[in-house]
Amino acid sequence: MSLLERVKELYQRNFKMGISSDGTEFTYICPDIKRYPHQWLWDSCFHIIVTSQFDVSLAKKELESMLKFLQPNGFLPHMFYHTKPFSILDWLIKRYYKSKEISSITQAPFLAHAIDAIYKATDDKENLQEVIPKISAFFDWYYTERLLSKEIPLLFIIHSWESGTDNCPKYDKALGISGKRFFALRVFRNLFKQLKVLKKADWDIEAIKKRDYFVFCDLLTNCTYIEGAEILSQLFKELGNEEQSQKYIERAKTISQALIKYCWNENESFFFDVYSKNATQVDVKTITGLFPLIISDLPKHIEKALMEKYLTNEKEFWTDYPIPIVAISEESFSPTSIALLWRGPPWINMNWFLIRALKKKGYQDLCNQFSLKTIELVEKEGFREYYNPFTGEGMGAKNLGWSALVLDIQNNYLKK
C-alpha cells in the first residue's frame, strides 16, 4: 500500500462529522479516535496541510469548522468540544474555562500554513479573499494581546498547553518544579495549577501578566508566528493588498530581531526560551532552540553554530532517528518517556518544521537524509504519536493524524 493510500485510510478512520450541542455543524479529522477525539487547533492545521494534497474540499471544511469559533476580538481556542460525553479529565479541565464548548487558551498559530496549503492546491483567490480576514484577525489578536512589551516584543503563552509541547522540561523552572520524588505527579498538578491561576485572574491578560506566574515566551510559538506572518504577507500580496502585506513582514522582522536579542545565548551558541516580564532565559536545550533556523535573515554565524554544534551533532540532537525533543546531553532527556510526554522522543510534526527550515536554507542533502529517516519511522512503525530516537520504536497513540505529515514531506521537501 502506498503512503498516500495509508494516509487516506488513517484519515477515514479518524474522520468526524456532525452537529455539536450548540447546533454548529462540524467536519474534522480528530488526532486519534480513542485517545484524542476532540478537535485541536494545531492538529487541524496539520491535517489541512495533508488533506490539501488529495481532498481539498475536506481541507476547506476542516478550516471552516475551526473558524466558526473565531471570537469577535480575534481569539481562537485551542480546543473545540463538539461531541459528548466528555471524559472525567475533560470535566475537570472544563471547570476552569469560560465556555463549555471551547477552551479559554489558544495554540501555536499554524493557521497561515493551513490556508497557504489550500491556496497552493487550488489557486482559488475567491476562497482566499473570504478566509484570510479571519486568519488575519487571529494573528492580529495574538500580536496585540500576547506581546510581552514594546521593549521586549516577544509573544508569550499563559499555559504550557498553548505551545502544544505540554510537559517539556523547559517549563519546569518557570513552574518551580524540581527534584525527582513524585515528579510526574507534580508536573500534572502544575498543569491544573496554571488553570487555577488563570481562572482566579478571570482570564484577564493584564492581571495574568501582573501575576507573572507563567508568562512564557515560547520559541515554537514565536517562530511559528514569524513564518506565519511571512506567509500572510505573501498571500496578501497575491490579493494586491500591499498595506497588509507590509504589516506582516514588519511584524516578522520585529519578532525575529527580538529572538536574537533575548533568546540567543552566545556562550552556548543556542536559542533558549525566556519567561517572566524580565525575559529570563531557560537553560534547557530543546528542539525549539533550533526552530529559529526558519528565520529568513538569520545571521550566518548563528545558522552555522546551530547546524554544526547541535542539529548534526550525535551527542546533542542527531540520533539514529532524529530529532529528539530534548538534547540527549540534558539530564531531563528521556528516550522512552511515557508518563510525561515531550521529554525526549521525536514527533513527526516537529521534524516537519525543521525539515522545512533546512529546505528553505538550501541544505537539500541533509533535508533528504532527515526526510527519509522521518518517513522510515512511519513505514516501520505506522502513524504513531512519537518514536524512540535510537530504535525507531513507535509509542503512544497508534493512529495519530499529524504523523501523516510525512506525505507532505515526501511530496514537497524530499528531492528525488
Ordered structural domains, the chain, with CATH? 146-311 (1.50.10.10), 316-411 (no CATH)
pLDDT at 86 over 80: no
CA 50 – CA 55 distance, rounded (Å): 9
The helix/strand/coil state of 381 is helix
Beta pairing partners, 387:
394
User: Where residue 275 falls among pLDDT bands split at 50, 70, 90?
Assistant: very high
Mean pLDDT of all residues in the chain? 95
Residue % of the chain over a pLDDT of 90: 88
pLDDT at 41 over 90: yes
- What pLDDT sits at residue 185? 87
Would you say the C-alpha torsion 412, 121, 162, 276 has a positive or negative sign?
Answer: positive
Q: What is the per-residue pLDDT across 375-412, written as a single tens digit (0 to 9) for each?
A: 999 999 999 999 999 999 999 999 999 999 999 999 99
pLDDT at 299 over 90: yes
User: How many other CB atoms are found less than 10 A from the CB of residue 202?
Assistant: 9
pLDDT at 28 over 90: yes
CA end-to-end span of the chain: 20
CA 81 – CA 44 distance, rounded (Å): 14
Q: Which residues of 90-102 are buried (b: 16+ CB within 10 A; e: fewer)?
A: eeebbebbeeebb
Grid cell, residue 272, equals 533558549
What backbone phi and psi angles, to 5 degrees, belong to 165? -95, 65
* Rounded average pLDDT over 32-38: 93
Residue type, 368: N
CA 381 – CA 375 distance, rounded (Å): 10
- What pLDDT sits at residue 289? 98
Query: Which of 21-30, 41-50, 309-318, 388-397 is predicted with the least confidence, judged by mean pLDDT?
Result: 21-30
Asked whether the beta carbons of 293 and 309 are under 8 A apart, the reply is no
pLDDT at 92 over 90: no
